[in-house]
Amino acid sequence: MIIEIIEGFFDLIKKEIKMYFEIYKRIFQLFISLNCIELSDLSNISLIIFLTLNIRNYAKKVIVLVWIIKIIVDIINKIIEILEYTQKSEIKK
């Protein structure tokens, strides 16, 4: 269950990245067709746009994912503690 949630999260990020690159590609095609930009400038511009606009969004998503994983691990650890305590209690009886 946990692995499926994490895989789904990363699938969403991949789809979002593809969507942004498609938008950038179409914008660059428009600029090229209008002779506003040369092909050699595309990689630098796309990198700058990607880093400035999207890095915060992905950083936030990764932070949320790590936070969720930490909560799940804490819950599992508490369950293990409870099970160990109940085992010790049963052994004492």
Distance, CA of 88 to CA of 93 (rounded, Å): 9
Query: Hunting for tokens 């990198």 — which residue is that?
Result: 47
Note the pLDDT of residue 8: 77
Unique residue bearing structure tokens 């950083």: 59
pLDDT at 18: 76
- Tens digits of residue pLDDT in 27-70: 777 766 666 555 555 566 666 666 666 666 666 666 676 777 77
Domain count for the chain, please give it. 1
Q: Where in the sequence is the domain holding 73, given as residue range(s)?
A: 2-92
Structure-token pair, residue 7: 């895989």
Pair of tokens at residue 1: 């269950």
Q: How far apart are CA 41 and CA 32, in angstroms?
A: 10
Residue 21 CB contacts under 8 Å (≥ 6 apart), including other chains? 46
